[in-house]
A and B are shown apart, each in its own frame.
Chain A
Amino acid sequence: MSILSRASRSVIALFTLSWALLLAAADMDYGLQPVAIADGTWVLVGRSEDFSTANGGNIVNTGFIVTPAGVLVIDSGPSRAYGEQLKRAIARITDRPVTLVVNTHHHPDHFLGNQAFAPETLAALPGTINGIHTEGGAFNDNMYRLAGDWMAGTEPVAPAKQLTAGPLDLGGHHLELIALDGHTGADLAIFDRSTGVLFAGDLVFNDRAPTTPHANLAAWQKALDRLEGLGFKQLVPGHGPVARDTAPLRQTRAWLSWLDANLRQAAEDGLDMTEVLAIQPPAEFRRLAVVEAEYRRSVGQLYPAYEQQALSRSGRNAR
């Protein structure tokens, strides 16, 4: 074998390798496309799917509000790469700095992009900060399993700045921070009175079945009542398309109340968990994305508490 051919082979190998790396880098592009929905208000709508290596965890809605006083980012996405690409997408639209990044709650797709932003801009409700501290590491590990390479370099970063409920004026936008709970122990909704846009976080899902790993169904339904009373013009749900009416809110409420009634009845009827899993959600919910998987997960997460309540009534110890 001649030296020349060996060298040319190495060149080809090198070329192939760098091409592969380029392709891999291109693959990690979320293709984020901010959509303007109101004055200075942009939304990035994720897919109505489960976490996967195909979607890289981009199943979530994030948003930002551009004001003369700076940019407010609402949720940072599922990975470091998402956070960085979100930051670049913002920079393509405005040269104003990001001054505040808010995590609506402590679920991984809403805060794992925090690394991309300056630490002093990160903020959340105290319960959310706590949740990120205690569960962020486990969420991050789980996201690596579910989304794979997209997660490269991602680590959980908890905001230091604690938010309190109440008005917040930012460059002429009169915002209302609303502290609620029910989807998790701390759910922040942001209502922009200037534009009528409500960022509801995961208190509202639209045409995608809600997730319930930390849910308190009664509190969640109360939170929805509060949001419905705000008189918003547009609603940005945590997952699913933006809406101009209360339909997603009512859909979320209908699902939660069916889930609650179904699990209560099942426990009262003495059903084993495998029998509860075999129940088909009613027809009105079948068009919700991932409804079967979410129902199965919700049964696993919530049924034990209903069971316990049904069993405790007549349980008696002989001792």
Chain B
Amino acid sequence: MTTHRIRGLAALLLASSLAVGAVQAASGDRQADPLDSPRWGDMRKEFFPAKARVVFDSRVKVSAPLTAENALNVPVSVDAGALPDATEVLVFADFNPITRIVRFRPEGAHPGLGFRIKLQQSTPVRAAVKTRDGVWHVGGTWVNTTGGGCTLPSAGSASPEWQKRLGEVSSRVWERKEGGERIRLRIIHPEDTGLAAGVPAFYIQELKLTDEQGAPLLHIEGFEPLAENPVFSVDIPAARTAAGYRVSGRDNNGNAISAVIEK
């Protein structure tokens, strides 16, 4: 009986949060930050033109642990699949010394991405999703951490091993029960932020995921806070699955990344 009541309550809460989402979408820029961050005003100015419409929208899902003990490797996944036509997603963390984390354009892939980040202290982690009408929809969650993730050098920068394997990609493709496919890939890269003494910034700036014919699926612009040896999860809708895929890109020093993702 208790379970029943709790379920009922959860359904009610869900319903009311959806209603709030709709109201927020309508009321525009004057709504209060649901994460109540003193940095929101700065974020608004830094990332969006003054005239842009920016709304908080609970349809933008950001999943991350509420508490992250390992500030060097905090898992985050963004899902904007509930919005009708997401064209661009920007992920940022209000209190990180480098706020920008990743920007991606779903060009056929599902509008979502799983990845891992470095955090310097407790902060909101947000995804702003631009829809075709030009409106930015912002969702997010607080991540608490004892921090220090951004000012520590990577393990790779201290080891001679990574130079031989720099840019090496391991990957795998799964069929999804709900249709379509999932691609996961891991790239060997130190992803140094430049904030650790004596270790210059060294990170992946661009990744393009295409099918084996070269038709674009996802474009990723990376920034310093992505975690060392980054791992990405990407979902491909059934209509765009292919016999194989390809990833290519480069880091800020011009090193090329190129790999075939075979099934």
Residues of chain A whose beta carbon lies under 8 Å from any beta carbon of chain B: 142, 145, 269-270, 272-275, 277-278, 293, 296-297, 300-301, 304, 307-308, 310-319
21 sampled A-B residue pairs with Cβ under 8 A: A145-B146, A269-B174, A272-B114, A273-B116, A273-B231, A274-B64, A274-B77, A278-B63, A296-B69, A301-B70, A304-B73, A308-B170, A311-B172, A312-B170, A313-B172, A314-B262, A315-B185, A316-B171, A316-B259, A317-B260, A318-B258
Determine the interface band of chain B, counting residues with CB < 8 A from chain A. 20 to 34
Known interface pairs A274-B77, A304-B231, A316-B259; 6 further A-B residue pairs with C-beta atoms within 8 A, sorted by A's residue number: A270-B172, A275-B114, A307-B186, A314-B171, A315-B170, A315-B171
Residues on B with beta carbons closer than 8 Å to the beta carbon of A315: 169-172, 185-186, 259
Q: Does B68 contact A (CB under 8 A)?
A: yes
Q: Does B250 contact A (CB under 8 A)?
A: no
- Judged by DSSP, the binding face of A is helix
Residue of B nearest to A297 (CB): B69
Q: With the chains together, A272 CA to B232 CA distance in Å?
A: 8
Q: Does B194 contact A (CB under 8 A)?
A: no
Contact flag A272-B233 (CB < 8 Å), given A277-B75, A304-B73, A308-B186: yes
Q: With the chains together, A311 CA to B168 CA distance in Å?
A: 12
| In the complex, the 6 A-B pairs of residues with the closest C-beta atoms, listed nearest first | A315-B170, A272-B114, A273-B75, A270-B174, A272-B233, A311-B170
- Report yes or no: B260 in contact with A318, Cβ–Cβ below 8 A: yes
Q: Does B65 contact A (CB under 8 A)?
A: yes
Interface centre among A272, A277, A318 (most CB of B within 10 A): A272
Q: With the chains together, A308 CA to B114 CA distance in Å?
A: 15
Q: With the chains together, A142 CA to B63 CA distance in Å?
A: 26
Q: With the chains together, A270 CA to B260 CA distance in Å?
A: 18
Q: Does B59 contact A (CB under 8 A)?
A: no
Residues on A with beta carbons closer than 8 Å to the beta carbon of B70: 300-301
Residues on A with beta carbons closer than 8 Å to the beta carbon of B173: 314
Q: With the chains together, A282 CA to B146 CA distance in Å?
A: 29
- Judged by DSSP, the binding face of B is strand
Q: Does B67 contact A (CB under 8 A)?
A: yes
Q: Does B182 contact A (CB under 8 A)?
A: yes
- Within the complex, the shortest CB–CB distance from A72 to chain B, in Å, comes to 34
A317: which of B75, B169, B184 is its contact (CB, 8 Å)?
B169
- Within the complex, the shortest CB–CB distance from B20 to chain A, in Å, comes to 23
Q: With the chains together, A145 CA to B233 CA distance in Å?
A: 34
Chain B residues 179-221 with CB under 8 Å of chain A are: 182, 184-186
- Report yes or no: B182 in contact with A270, Cβ–Cβ below 8 A: yes
Q: With the chains together, A9 CA to B68 CA distance in Å?
A: 49
Q: Does B76 contact A (CB under 8 A)?
A: yes
Residue of B nearest to A309 (CB): B170
Q: Does B53 contact A (CB under 8 A)?
A: no
Contact flag A318-B246 (CB < 8 Å), given A274-B75, A300-B69, A307-B186: yes
Q: With the chains together, A43 CA to B247 CA distance in Å?
A: 58
Q: With the chains together, A317 CA to B172 CA distance in Å?
A: 12
Q: Does B7 contact A (CB under 8 A)?
A: no
Q: With the chains together, A248 CA to B154 CA distance in Å?
A: 38
Q: With the chains together, A275 CA to B182 CA distance in Å?
A: 13
Residues on A with beta carbons closer than 8 Å to the beta carbon of B77: 272, 274-275
Q: Does B132 contact A (CB under 8 A)?
A: no
- Report yes or no: A142 in contact with B246, Cβ–Cβ below 8 A: no
Q: With the chains together, A314 CA to B263 CA distance in Å?
A: 7
Residues on B with beta carbons closer than 8 Å to the beta carbon of A313: 172
Residues on A with beta carbons closer than 8 Å to the beta carbon of B169: 315, 317
- Report yes or no: A314 in contact with B172, Cβ–Cβ below 8 A: yes
